[in-house]
Chains A and B, each alone.
Chain A
Amino acid sequence: MSEGELGRKWDRCLADCAVKLGAGLGLGIVFSVLFFKRRTWPIVLGSGMGLGMAYSNCQQDFQAPYLLHGKCVKEQ
């Protein structure tokens, strides 16, 4: 794996981490307000699940060095 590709993987990993943490936090807040009387634990659980999903994605990305990330270009 080249250094540039490694850097791109780290960038993708950190971006995904931020997105998943935000989504988990948001969904945790929604569930906490709607079902669990504004307790803290659904928010913590949602954030933790988001971080766990991001970690799993990063692990898969780093352990699969032969997969190329390409973009599909539609014919015009």
Chain B
Amino acid sequence: MGSSGGTWTNARVPAPLFCRVLTKVGVAGGAVYVAYDQGLLGNGEKGSEVLSKAKAAIPPAVDEWMKYFGWELPAPPKIEFSPSQAWNSGVQTTMSALSVAPSRAQEYTQRGWQYVRDLTK
């Protein structure tokens, strides 16, 4: 048995393909499990509960991280806009305009006709 006479190289040994695939499958499976466990894939009521929990949890978490990094976020501007009120007032305005449209059209037509008749006198 003689030595092969080869030289040592500083080559990196890549991770086996099986380990890489297993790691990826584990990470992806864990993400799916966490999504299922937190109720993100459940029915509508669970989804709204998750959203309200997230809304309650995010501002204190942001404050804590800002304190940790020593940053100061400016206070968010208070926007007093209610989409539901805006939508409802839009619907009411549209419907009231549509309800008076025939009588208004008749009135303006009569006025216009009267004006034309006065012009031709």
Contact = CB atoms under 8 A, between A and B. Distances in A.
- The A contact surface, by secondary structure, is helix
Given A18-B51, A34-B24, A35-B28, A23 B44 contact: no
Interface of A: 7, 11-13, 15-20, 22-23, 26-27, 30-31, 34-35, 53-54, 57-58, 60-61, 69
A29 B48 CA distance: 23
B28 A34 contact: yes
Interface of B: 24, 27-28, 31-32, 35, 40-41, 43-45, 47-48, 50-52, 84
Most buried by A among B44, B48, B51: B44
A57 B47 contact: yes
A18 B11 CA distance: 49
B50 A19 contact: yes
Nearest to A53: B41
Contact of B32 (A18, A27, A54, A58): A27
B44 A12 contact: yes
A23 B48 CA distance: 13
Contact of B47 (A19, A35, A60): A19
Contacts of A17: 47
